[in-house]
Structure 1
Amino acid sequence: MKISIYNNYDKMSRAAADLVAEQLVNKPDSLICFPSGESPTGMLQHVISYANAGKIKLDKCHFIGLDEWVGMDETNEGSCKHYLYTNFFNKLNINDSQITLFNAKADDLKAECERINNFIAKKGGLDMMIVGIGMNGHLGLNEPGTPFNLYAHLSELDPVTVTVGQKYFKQETRLTQGITLGLQHLTEAKIPVLIASGSKKASIINEALNGQISTDVPASILQNLPAARILLDEDAASELEHLA
């Protein structure tokens, strides 16, 4: 893995957008996974700017969502789907045929996981998979204890995720399960990317990148991925004991 540290959130976000732009120039029909949450917003804004300026074209690529809260769709403002449409897809009028997201309200969620797995496989795998990191070290909704070799799956949400997840909702919301791409997807992605910012992430970043590789800290899997790109702002990197 390669760790890059930037002065602030905006510079980190621009660097992440540059990776996306480079990928799209090299392979216009790329399959790219975007996360939701606080971390990717700046990156998405820069990608939008690049597209509007004609620096990149998005007409041949395909986007896939990282995860979703079970039982939610775009009508829930805290849903991943609402976030991606509001902050990215709608701003560029991305065609729905280019977008694949989890249906977290499907009657058969295991079948939904298989639909996503099959879609990725038929596309030849993920060209780029971008993730953030949770306060408990999760990637997507791969919670502590999740085996590294899982593809898309249902997850029982960790109490830390349930608590932190409330920030995405205007009122307290019951969160129990998630549906998510798996860590095996990250392992197989041609370019796995982690973005993180803020001092609140500093401790878990150090544990993930310098600690023992263990399912107790899902993000520690990045130490096993030579192609992984780790993009941090100075605050998120402030507790790194050494550059792994």
Structure 2
Amino acid sequence: MEIIISSDLERIAMLGADAVAEHVLADPTAVLGLATGSSPLRVYRELGRRVAAGELSLRRCRAFLLDEYLGLPADHPESYRAVIERDFVRLVDIDSAHVGGLDCSAADARSSCAAYEERIAAAGGIDVQILGVGGNGHIAFNEPGSPAASRTREAALTEQTRRDNARFFGGDVDAVPQHCLTQGIGTILEAKHLVLIATGEHKAQAVRELVEGRVNAECPVTALQQHPHVTVLLDGAAASLLRSQDHDLAAQPSQR
């Protein structure tokens, strides 16, 4: 696990974009895993800058979303499909038809989730997966208690996650859906390279568990310790509870 701590949010964005670009330059048909939320926004903007400057092209890439709310209309501005169109697709040159999302309109959620797994496998698997982390340690919408081997499925959101996400719904917790479809932890761990971005003091405890804690289901992000290629990009606030805090150099996590 590579840990990089920087007080410069633009540097974090550049390093995240570098990780994506490395895969795309090696294989122009690379498969990208896309997270929503505030954490990856600067990375997506930096990728957009590089595409606009002619430094990079995602035209031949495919991409898959991590999760989606259940109960929102398809055209709702906070559906994750709408968010990724606005915050990523419009900034780069990827074909919107090549960006796969979870089908929350299907009558049979289990079959829909199984089909999504099949689509990812048919694309050759995800080469580089962008991730954020919730204050309670959730990745995608895998809340505390999610099994490490879980696959794409329907899940319930905790009250903390709904409170955290209320800022996207005008501060109204009641407007945040209670259920979602999400890639499972086991699905996420099959990506070749995981790039997790965490900023802000409210992420510090989850980051500490990831870097210095033990693998445990109550903090789902700790499952990333089991992956062979993880890059963790942190600002000083998110890293504030770590024993080692070098803001410029990569570091390895302490022995557990």
TM-score, with length taken from structure 1: 0.95
CA distance in 1, matches of 2:28, 2:22: 10
CA distance in 1, matches of 2:230, 2:171: 36
Structure 1 counterpart SS, 2:216: coil
CA distance in 2, matches of 1:113, 1:233: 34
Structure 1 portions without partners, runs of 5+: none
CA distance in 1, matches of 2:243, 2:142: 25
Q: Which amino acid aligns with 2:47?
A: V
* Residue in 1 that maps onto 2:119: 119
Structure 2 counterpart SS, 1:68: strand
CA distance in 1, matches of 2:105, 2:198: 29
CA drift at 1:70? 0.8
CA distance in 1, matches of 2:91, 2:51: 10
Checking the alignment, whether the CA contact within 8 Å between 2:130 and 2:195 is kept in structure 1 is yes
Structure 2 counterpart SS, 1:221: helix
Change (3 A) 1:48 1:73: farther
Calculate the aligned-residue CA RMSD, in Å: 1.5
CA drift at 1:17? 0.7
Q: Which amino acid aligns with 2:71?
A: G
Checking the alignment, whether the CA contact within 8 Å between 2:61 and 2:94 is kept in structure 1 is no
Is 1:160 aligned with 2:160?
A: yes
Number of residues of Structure 1 aligned to a counterpart in Structure 2: 244
Is 1:35 aligned with 2:35?
A: yes
CA drift at 1:241? 2.2
CA distance in 1, matches of 2:74, 2:85: 8
CA drift at 1:43? 0.4
CA distance in 2, matches of 1:32, 1:91: 15
CA deviations on 1:67-117 (whole Å, 9 max, x unpaired) are 111122452222211211111112335323211011223222111101110
CA distance in 2, matches of 1:73, 1:209: 38
Checking the alignment, whether the CA contact within 8 Å between 1:9 and 1:233 is kept in structure 2 is yes
* Residue in 1 that maps onto 2:219: 217
* Residue in 2 that maps onto 1:169: 169
CA distance in 2, matches of 1:93, 1:73: 26
Structure 2 portions without partners, runs of 5+: 245-251
Which runs of 4 or more aligned residues in structure 1 lie more than 4 Å from their structure 2 counterparts after TM superposition?
none
Change (3 A) 1:45 1:221: same
Is 1:49 aligned with 2:49?
A: yes
* Residue in 2 that maps onto 1:106: 106
Change (3 A) 1:93 1:191: closer
Structure 2 counterpart SS, 1:223: helix
* Residue in 2 that maps onto 1:146: 146
- Sequence identity of aligned pairs in percent? 29
CA drift at 1:194? 0.7
Structure 1 counterpart SS, 2:204: helix
CA drift at 1:45? 0.2
